[in-house]
């Protein structure tokens, strides 16, 4: 079984890099196990206090992400699309959107919890770095 094979890019001009994108990292088995353990403990606490899980999308409309100026547009990773979309740099804006729309008829206060990947772009000394983190 071949797990990695040298190959060229689609144009045939460069080798495909073996490294993850700058700012990205592979979570190795122990990292995954540690994250799952921590998230399981958090889930227990959230449920104990009556919180319900919400899973908003990873891709969100830019106007939602930039509403009220809470998120700096410089950290947004914009998605190439006909619509103005971006990868969420945090989850709160998406939860607020869901609370004001699809969950608008529910009694308040809403007790919601969530977890997922968030993505941020940084410019460090003229070099762009993209970072993915888990937020809960």
Q: What is the pLDDT of residues 24-66, one digit of tens each?
A: 889 999 999 999 999 999 999 999 999 999 999 999 999 988 8
pLDDT band, very low/low/confident/very high, at 9 (cuts 50, 70, 90): low
The length of the chain, given as a count of residues: 136
pTM: 0.76
Q: Which domains does the chain possess?
A: 29-135 (3.30.930.10)
Q: What is the pLDDT of residues 57-115, one digit of tens each?
A: 999 999 988 887 777 777 888 887 889 999 999 999 999 999 999 999 999 999 999 99
Q: Is 99:112 a contact under the CB 8 Å cutoff?
A: yes
- Letter string b/e over residues 124-134, b meaning 16 or more CB atoms within 10 A of that residue's CB: eeeeeeebbee
């Amino acid at each position: 079984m071949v797990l990695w094979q040298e190959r060229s890019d689609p144009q045939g001009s460069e080798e495909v890099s073996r490294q993850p994108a700058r700012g990205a990292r592979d979570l190795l088995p122990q990292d995954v196990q540690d994250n799952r353990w921590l998230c399981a403990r958090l889930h227990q606490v959230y449920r104990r206090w009556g919180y319900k899980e919400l899973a908003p999308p990873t891709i969100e409309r830019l106007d939602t992400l930039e509403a009220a100026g809470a998120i700096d547009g410089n950290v947004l990773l914009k998605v190439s699309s006909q619509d103005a979309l971006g990868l969420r740099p945090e989850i709160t804006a998406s939860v607020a959107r869901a609370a004001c729309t699809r969950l608008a008829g529910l009694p308040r206060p809403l007790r919601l919890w969530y977890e997922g990947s968030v993505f941020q772009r940084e410019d460090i000394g003229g070099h762009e770095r993209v970072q993915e983190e888990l937020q809960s």
